[in-house]
Structures are given as C-alpha cells and as structure tokens.
Structure 1
C-alpha cells in the first residue's frame, strides 16, 4: 500500500504516526514538509481532500501565526494558504495519505483508519 506521510521529525505526534505506520508493516514515503513544502496548488488540493478550511489546518501556537496577524478573521482563505506555503511550520501535522484516504492524524491513532 502506498503511504505518504507529511512529517516533522521534531514533532512527537508525527514520530508516533511514523512508528504506527511501520508497525503495520508498511514503509511510507516521507515528505519532510518543512524542507520540501507543498506548492500552493498541492496545499489547496490537500485541503480539499481533507475537507478542511485553511484556518482549520493552521497551527495557531506558532510564533509566525501572531507575527503575521493570522488571527484576523477577515483574512481570506487564499491569504492563509499563502502564509502556510511561505511558512510551512504553520501547517498542522502529521498528514497521511493512503489509498484509503487522507487524514490529519491528531491524535496519532487516527492513522489506524487509513492502514
């Protein structure tokens, strides 16, 4: 089964998801999205498939969130996507895509539905 993990190795939840995937006998394609962020089109497609709005994928506790004024409810989805493309740390993680679908795996056990 083809599995893609959008991964931040510094994130405990992301590491746990990787561990759960490997425990299932699969080896995912790992995208360290901080070094290889999605393009605007890729992120927009991912959001559509996740059935999430850009605001729902934002990590509000990151310093960039406050620095960029992203708490402003009047900001457009386009502006929020642009911010995540430019500052991928703002994307919540881990995101896992398999033939069974795509999911933001928080908590980590959410990945089990995709395996």
Structure 2
C-alpha cells in the first residue's frame, strides 16, 4: 500500500502520526512540505479530499496567521491558498494520503481510519499516552 505523509519533523503530532503508520508495517513516502511545499492543485486537492475548508486547513499556532491578517473572514479561498503557498508553515499538518482516503491527522490517531493495515504492536505517543496495546488494539484513555 502506498501512503504519503506531508510531514514536519519538528511537530510532535506529525512524528506520532508517522510512528503509527510505521507501526502498521508501512514505510510511507515522506514529503517535508516546509522544504518542498505542494503546488496549488495538490494543496487544494488535499484539503478538499480531507473534507475540509481551506480555512480549516490553516495552522494558526506558531505561524504568521495574525500578522498576515488571515483571520479576516472576507478573505477568499484563493487568497488563503496563496498565503499557504507563500508561507508553507500555514499548512496544517500532517496530511496523510492512503488508499482509504485523505486525513488531516490531528490528533494523530485519525490516521488509523485510513491505513487499512492493523497495528503490529503497542504504540505510545511521545507524551506518554498509550494508543495501541500489545495486542494491536486501540486503547481509549
């Protein structure tokens, strides 16, 4: 199975999502979207296929969101996409593309909905939260 993750290695949620993908025995294609941002068509498709609006796909925390006045509700999707392309840090992460669909995996456990492969063992997030038990079952805390 082919899986693509639009990854930011500095992001804990992105690292946890990558860990869950690998815990399913899948080595995904990593796209460091900060260094190699998607083009307009790809970004628009990711957002649309994930069932999100452009505004829902914008990351606010730790970005120039307010400085660029992107909180203005009158901005069009075109203008918001332009800002995301000019400042890739505004693209929320991680987006994951798998055979079963596209998800913005916040929280990281959302990736389990689209992987199509069972987890192969226990998985604990970086913050210590147990997500998958030793039998590969999802642990709800």
TM range (shorter): over 0.9
Alpha-carbon distance, 1:70 to partner: 0.3
Partner of 1:55: 55
Task: Determine if the alignment matches structure 1 residue 24 to structure 2 residue 24.
Answer: yes
Segment of structure 1 superposing worse, 85-94 or 46-55: 46-55
Q: Which has the higher contact order (CA 8 A, sep 6+)?
A: 1
What TM-score comes out, normalization by structure 2 length? 0.79
Q: Secondary structure at the match of 2:46?
A: helix
CA RMSD of aligned residues (A): 0.8
Once the two structures are superposed, what CA deviation does each residue of 1:14-51 show, in whole Å capped at 9, x if it has no partner? Answer: 00011111111000000000000011111111122112
Structure 1 unmatched runs, 5+: none
Distance 1:22 1:45 in 2: 25
Alpha-carbon distance, 1:62 to partner: 3.0
Residues paired across the two proteins, number: 115
Structure 2 unmatched runs, 5+: 116-141
Asked which structure has the greater CA Rg, the reply is 2
What TM-score comes out, normalization by structure 1 length? 0.96
Partner of 1:67: 67
Q: Which runs of 4+ in 1 moved over 3 A?
A: none
Task: Determine if the alignment matches structure 1 residue 110 to structure 2 residue 110.
Answer: yes
Partner of 1:98: 98
